[in-house]
Chains A and B, each alone.
Chain A
Amino acid sequence: MKVVVFCKSVPDTETRVKLKDNRLDKSEIKYILNPYDEYAVEEAVRMKEAGKVDEVIAISMGPERAREALRSALAIGADRGILVKDDALDGSDTYVTAKVLVKALEKDGVDYGMLLFGQQAIDGDTWHVPGQVAEMLGLPQTGSIIKLEVDPDAGKAVANRLVEGGEEVHEMSLPCVVTCRKGLNEPRYPSLPNIMKAKRKPIQDYSIADLDLSPEEVGKAGSFTEVLSYSLPPKKEAGKKVEGEPEEVVQALVKFLKDEIKVI
């Protein structure tokens, strides 16, 4: 069985956001492989190590820096990469992103048994693309999984999905889509030799023309939603700070909770 892992290049979690001309100021941002995608890559590589999967393909849509995110996936153990890169893709919403990724899968022709995503990308935080890809392909989908058991011979997967108040256990036929989150596994730190090896693994580039898409179908032009403006959230001001004997500070805190917030 072959599996495909979807990877995104995102700002590091330490990033402090700055705006410039009503756009994100990207000049000082350091980019990484989306942390949620690391769980997906790790899970795919573990399936390969367990002999259930014979090829792990990492795919990304994004600017040139997305190649680094793919290299990170290859260093964890993915076998090859696909990068969809085109200036016309700038401003694509999640619907267009899903459409383009589906086209890239078709173009590659990989006969996949499973598509793995991170639950969300930590920049857009939409959680959209996996479900949109799954719907476009008519595939079953279990999101936010913390446990996965796959039986390629039986053509089945069982996944535990974390929801409010517990876990839903879903049984799916293959091929299927899963989205991965913390709790599924502990992603490894790639070894130096594996990082070096990753540099020699193949990455296939596609432009939108390669995917038989026109500029009108993608980017801002092809999207159903557009970002009208960015703003920084209202800055939270530091309030009262008390120090002293526990009895005193607790009295002050109780007064605050009782009189101002009225929770007691």
Chain B
Amino acid sequence: MSVWVIADQRNGALRKPAFEALSEGRRLAGELGTNMEAVIVGHNVEGLCNEIASYGAEKVYLIDHELLATYNPLAYARAIGDLVKEKQPQIVLMGGTMTGRDLMPRIAARVGAGLAPDCIKLEIVDGKLKATRPAIAGKVRVEIGYKSDIQMAILRPNVFEKLEPDSSKSAEVEKVPFEPTDLDTKQKLVEFISKETGRPELTEAEVIVSGGRGMKAPENFAIIEELADLLGAAVGASRAAVDAGWRPQSDQVGQTGKTVSPNLYIAVGISGAIQHLAGMSSSKFIVAVNKDPDAPIFNVADFGVVGDLFKVVPLLNEEVKKIKAQEG
């Protein structure tokens, strides 16, 4: 009755939410007094087993096949789901990457197990998993209990603490054979269109700088991007800025965009509609810059600046540059 973590990799690299899931899996296994074991799926990914071991996995199930080189929901769910059915771990965790959110429901359906998504807290109560998650876009918190023997959960990125890896640790690697079926060929990832900006992914970023309607024009986002790059931050946007066509869809934070939980969220020219607050109010610190002193964003801001963003942000950028130069 071990704790399992499905370690999400892309292009042969483990993803940040996978480390968070491994760390939380290690913690839960310790509490249950059982093993933490990991599953890795892909092609030519055996090299990642050592890295997984450094997070405390005692065993790694390696499912390596050409057909699994890129994400295939049918094949991934069958490969992992059938292994779960055979080995019967008590808990199965995965980080909430787009793959995790897509794949875990399929696995849960295949196995016939309870699944809680977007979890922000996991506990063991009476020997069983209990999950806490936000619902209705963060407006309410729900505690989920399980009735199934296998208990599955998807972890919200950026919430669970990542352990320091210990490279002296090692794990037993079990190679799991994968036999392709006709079913697997019903779907194929034929192309990846990269939209890399060089900045961190919104859902995984420690710091986010977001702009809203107050930015007035797409070219004005240059000052937001400059601040983001100075802080190593991701760039976000309110729905107003996305609907106006100033920013891409993928940047939208809020109820019909992404839900984010960074350490610091800087809202620039964003009034703070309830739908936007829903997507970002679980940030640890919130800074708001807005010229309207009555903007609702100030009700959730740890630090609010009432002022003209076109004066405040460039000045802020200059000050940050000065400090960085001093620190060399």
Contact = CB atoms under 8 A, between A and B. Distances in A.
B319 A250 contact: yes
Given A250-B319, A254-B320, A134 B138 contact: no
Interface in A76-130: 93-95, 98, 122-130
A191 interface: no
B99 A264 contact: no
A135 B304 CA distance: 48
By DSSP majority rule, is chain B's interface helix, strand, loop, or mixed?
mixed
Residue among B81, B102, B281 with the highest chain A CB neighbour number at 10 A: B102
Contacts of B300: 236, 238
B167 interface: no
Nearest to A161: B98
Interface stretch (B41-49, B143-151, B217-225): B143-151
Given A24-B140, A165-B196, A13 B115 contact: no
A11 interface: yes
Contact of B201 (A128, A165, A176): A165
By DSSP majority rule, is chain A's interface helix, strand, loop, or mixed?
mixed
A173 to B, nearest CB: 5
Nearest to B284: A261
Interface string B280-313: 0110011100000100001111111111100110
Given A95-B108, A125-B117, A131 B143 contact: no
B59 to A, nearest CB: 26
A242 B308 CA distance: 12
A170 B190 contact: yes
A15 B136 contact: yes
A249 B105 CA distance: 48
A125 B101 CA distance: 11
Given A242-B306, A246-B308, A247-B315, A166 B140 contact: no
Contact of B307 (A15, A124, A243): A243
B252 A131 contact: no
A160 B249 CA distance: 13
A189 interface: no
Given A171-B190, A249-B307, A164 B113 contact: no
Contacts, number: 275
A250 B312 contact: yes
Nearest to A224: B114
Contacts of A173: 186-187
A51 interface: no
A127 B312 contact: no
A213 to B, nearest CB: 16
Contacts of A21: none
A135 B134 CA distance: 25
B204 to A, nearest CB: 7
A16 B274 contact: yes
Interface string A126-170: 111111111110111111101000000000001011111111111
B231 interface: yes
A239 B301 contact: yes
B140 A144 contact: no
A225 interface: yes
B175 to A, nearest CB: 25
Given A15-B136, A15-B139, A125-B136, 14 more contacts: A122-B255, A138-B183, A143-B102, A164-B97, A169-B190, A224-B146, A225-B144, A225-B147, A227-B144, A229-B143, A236-B281, A243-B307, A249-B305, A249-B307
